[in-house]
Amino acid sequence: MNKCIDCGKQTKGFGKRCYSCSNSGINSSNYIDGRTNKKCYCLDCGKKLSRNSYIKKIKRCRKCWKIFKKKNKKIYLCKLCKKPVSDYRHSICYKCANPGKPKCMDCNKQLKRYNAIRCKSCAQKLKIGKLAPGYIHGKAYEPYSLNWKSISESIRKKFKYRCIICNCFSKSVHHIDYNKQNNKKENLILLCKKHHAITNGNRDYWYAYFTYIMENFIYG
């Protein structure tokens, strides 16, 4: 059994120092140039701070730090509405980020879907009359010829009630040049309801497409 070199106490083992002396001061394993021994006080109230406050660069106690943070708090504003935001990480406030469901661009009515632009009533108005996409100088309202029933039935029988594009069952007879009075066999073709509706738009393309088919494959 040995005695401690520093305090003179009897050690338990064969070590030179006791447990308290070997783990304190210069002999401690965490000793770094004596910085932990430096005393640090709060800048506002003068209260003595913890042992490692000098190393961690803590200048105020908890109470003084909360007061200091409230006084010197930086206010961040929303980019859109210029209202204060809770944190610097949020560039837009909650209301601007979640505006809710949109309104109709025509009547300003609240819509049910987020991706909608117009309500049902306003959207239907655009499909009627001059606002319709297939409207061309009111030609849709022109009457058919008197013997149209017999002509259309003969075209259906000729094409065997099959659409020329998708080969589905169809009864809609289509005028290639969009002239209802031109009932020549080279100008009439059979389409299903789906393709007959599609051919109302982009008429120049469909006119060239059907004339090519009629000249090369049917009457060629």
Rg of the chain over all Cα atoms, to the nearest angstrom: 45
Q: Give counts: helices (H), strands (E), the chain.
A: 8, 4
d(CA 105, CA 103): 6
Residue 2's pLDDT is what? Answer: 79
d(CA 64, CA 191): 83
Q: How would you write the pLDDT of the chain (220 residues) with one tens digit per residue?
A: 678 877 888 887 777 788 777 777 677 666 666 666 678 889 999 998 887 787 778 889 999 989 998 888 888 899 888 888 877 778 888 888 887 888 998 899 989 888 888 898 888 887 776 666 566 665 666 788 889 999 999 999 999 999 999 999 999 999 999 888 899 999 999 999 999 988 888 889 999 999 999 898 887 6
The domain ranges of the chain are 147-218
Backbone torsions φ then ψ of 53, nearest 5 degrees: -65, -30
> In whole angstroms, what separates CA 158 from the centre of its chain?
52
Residue 207's pLDDT is what? Answer: 93
- Contact partners, residue 97, CB within 8 Å, separation at least 6: none
Residue 184's pLDDT is what? Answer: 92
Task: List residues bridging with 175 in a β-sheet.
Answer: 188
Task: List residues bridging with 190 in a β-sheet.
Answer: 173
Write down the pTM of the prediction: 0.43
